[in-house]
Amino acid sequence: MHSLTQEIQGFSKSCLKKQCTRVTTVTGRKLLERRSDGGEGEEQVEELEEGDGCGFVEDKSLDLQVGVVRPFLLLASQDAAHDIDTLQRHKVSHVLNVAYGVDNLFPDQLVYKTLQILDLPDTDIASYLGECSSFIDDARTQDGVVLVHCNAGVSRSSSIVIGYLMLKEGLKFDDAFSQVKLARPSIRPNPGFYQQLQSYKP
């Protein structure tokens, strides 16, 4: 029987997976970085397209995490809103889309409301709260479940949900914020939204 020491000694670096990273630069240039020999050997960079600029690695992983703020009120990113399995698992019947330029994929199966809100500190987020809260309440009276989403489920949609709790449940900002953050830890309303909600008087 092999001892662990023999196994470690007999392990060859060539067994390690060769790494390959696809990088898109800010100007749209696409590069493929290949690193062989367990990360210690030669690094080859292969240009996929023309262009110039500094690189960043694109994050292709989907964010399907759904924050359950209330049994009828969910908060998520556009990834979850575009994933029919996630929507069905959470029994979503209504979708409140507050992103800019994000399509609604299942109009035959779900009730949608779309408000194209820009994620900018000087956007008047408070002016949307009444309309959004009415849509959420309408869904609730029909025993529906509403998914509120923007692009990342971090700033716009979280601000709308915090505002809903303040407007409809009479919560103070700090309570509403902490309840929403508990449901979806990644939330971070932009500084302008944060200040508007702090001083919001329903």
User: Exactly one of 15, 54, 132, 150 is catalytic; which is it?
Assistant: 150
What is the C-alpha separation between 125 and 193, in angstroms, rounded?
Answer: 6
> Please, are residues 79 and 62 in contact by the beta-carbon 8 Å criterion?
yes
User: For residue 33, what are its two tokens?
Assistant: 């970085």
Q: Is the dihedral of CA 146, 149, 153, 154 positive or negative?
A: negative
CA-to-CA dists, residue 104 to 60, 80, 172, angstroms? 20, 12, 32
Based on the residue annotation, tell me whether 20 is a catalytic residue of this protein.
no
> Please, are residues 162 and 67 in contact by the beta-carbon 8 Å criterion?
no
Determine how many CB atoms are found less than 10 A away from the CB of residue 68: 15
Determine how many CB atoms are found less than 10 A away from the CB of residue 46: 10
Question: Across the strands, what pairs with 44?
Answer: 34
Query: Could you list the active site residues?
Result: 150
